[in-house]
Amino acid sequence: MRTIVVFYHARVWLPLRSSNEAHLLCWRRYARHRVLYVNVAFNVPWGLLRKLNIDAVLFDPMFWVMHWDPTYFTARSAQCLPIKDFSCLKIAIVQDEFLHMDIVNQFLREIGITDVLTCSDPRDWRTIYPLLDPQTTRFRTVLTGYVDERRLTDVNARKQPVRDIDIGYRAWDNPYWLGEHGTLKVTIGQKIKEAARQRGLRVDIDNPAQYLIGIEWFDFLQRCRTVLGVEGGASVFDYDGSIKQKVESYILKYPGASFEETRANCFPEDDHRINLSCLSPRHFEAAMTHTCQVLLSGEYNGVFKPWIHYIPVERDYSNIEDVLNAIDNSVLTEQIADRAYDDLVASGKWSYAAFVRYIEVSIIEAPPAKARKHPRIVEIITFYLLYAWERLIWHYVHLEVSKKRGGVFELKVLRWLYRSYSEGLARLRWAGRRLLLLTTPKG
């Protein structure tokens, strides 16, 4: 059995979306090895980590949410730099690769990353990761999310509501610096909503969106006969964030500017230079609830097939009437939804368990097991000290963000425990050094 340490960041973005939580926790739920989590929103306990025989370090997508704010990312990721001295696999699972990849590249190069699990196409790897040497860093394309088996069990156990919505959708206005692809999420809702209402179809399409997370989102899906969608991602690759700055400055000066006007003035040659669109976890979530998907035509990583797993909408909306006819056909929508469930959910091929197993076999277990540097008893004690730290931090951030999960008294208690644990570890390290000095022969 090997030891895996997962680095992530969670303090402000809580509660986590269902897909983020499923991805973060999949290693503990499905890995065959020991797993520890380190929340870099707090101090990294390097003293204890150095006493572990670590085989692999993973940087979860929840670690990379920090790179949306370069200043914050630089500050928080700096405390992770000691990992460069660890002789172990260093695996980065990077998402949102359309923005601020300059600081991501610098960090990955500095720590000596060994593996990058990317959402991008192989032909774009050199463009997105110019500072990484393909001779020393291996790249693999993976999905942004998979079927969450635990959530699937919950969904199947719940009483199925009446599907009283013909077409459902939730989207929000994306900033222009994401490129034309960012506008598609709103456009499909506007186009289909107008045409569907003329047909007398029951529509629940809100923009700006009512924010639904957790079981509320799945309850909404189960009320829908069909749900709209597009691929995730962006069509502009903004390596250093300069395009974002230009767009934000332009919109500040011309608040009523259209997307076309903004693109022409800020990034006329940068839209659609590389393909940054990909399958979204929401597509699997809809399949889990047997909800037929009506999706804008795209690649969907080759996983979802048109007229097999979804009803395709042409990008120029020239087939809207055919799409609405298909939506009207309840037999057809049920067949498509059932096929998507059977092929993509029930098969287990696209589950988190399968994803974790793939990474274990192809990366983590590929090299021979390392010789242990520390005695077994030291490693066991260290592991459980780190696990206690991990659980303390997890409960602390949830109470800190949401008073609904605990009152002021509980939060004060956790703060006291946090300080006491930190002070206790410092005293243990001091005592260990003193003992080592006293027992080391002089001369």
**Residue 413 falls within a domain, yes or no?**
no
Q: Residue length, the chain?
A: 443
User: How does pLDDT run across 30-52, given as a tens digit for each residue?
Assistant: 999 999 999 999 989 999 999 89
Q: Are 275 and 116 in contact (CB under 8 A)?
A: no
Contacts of 95 (CB under 8 A, 6+ apart): 61, 64, 119, 144
| Same domain? 136 vs 160 | no
| Same domain? 194 vs 76 | no
**Residue 262 falls within a domain, yes or no?**
no
Look at 123-137, 192-206, 232-246 and tell me which has the smallest mean pLDDT. Answer: 192-206
Task: Look up the CATH number of the domain holding residue 57.
Answer: 3.40.50
Structurally, the chain folds into a number of domains equal to 2
- Which of the 8 DSSP states describes residue 122? G
Higher pLDDT, 418 or 11: 11
Q: What percent of the chain has pLDDT over 70?
A: 88
Confidence of residue 405 (pLDDT cuts 50, 70, 90): very low
User: How does pLDDT run across 73-92, given as a tens digit for each residue?
Assistant: 999 999 999 999 999 999 99
- Structural domain of residue 327, as residue ranges? 149-238+274-346
Contacts of 360 (CB under 8 A, 6+ apart): 31, 32, 33
Q: So what's the pLDDT on residue 393?
A: 85
**Residue 400 falls within a domain, yes or no?**
no
pLDDT at 442 over 70: no
| Same domain? 45 vs 89 | yes
Look at 16-25, 111-120, 206-215 and tell me which has the smallest mean pLDDT. Answer: 206-215
pLDDT at 150 over 50: yes
**Residue 264 falls within a domain, yes or no?**
no
Q: How many CB atoms lie within 10 A of CB 443?
A: 2
**Residue 205 falls within a domain, yes or no?**
yes
**Residue 162 falls within a domain, yes or no?**
yes
Q: What is the identity of the amino acid at 367?
A: P
Q: So what's the pLDDT on residue 18?
A: 83
State pTM to two decimals.
0.88
The CA distance from 128 to 135, in Å, is 16
User: How does pLDDT run across 152-182, given as a tens digit for each residue?
Assistant: 999 988 888 899 999 999 988 899 999 999 9
**Residue 84 falls within a domain, yes or no?**
yes
- Which of the 8 DSSP states describes residue 57? E
pLDDT at 408 over 60: no
User: How does pLDDT run across 253-308, given as a tens digit for each residue?
Assistant: 999 999 999 999 999 999 999 989 999 999 999 999 999 999 999 999 999 999 99
| Same domain? 45 vs 117 | yes
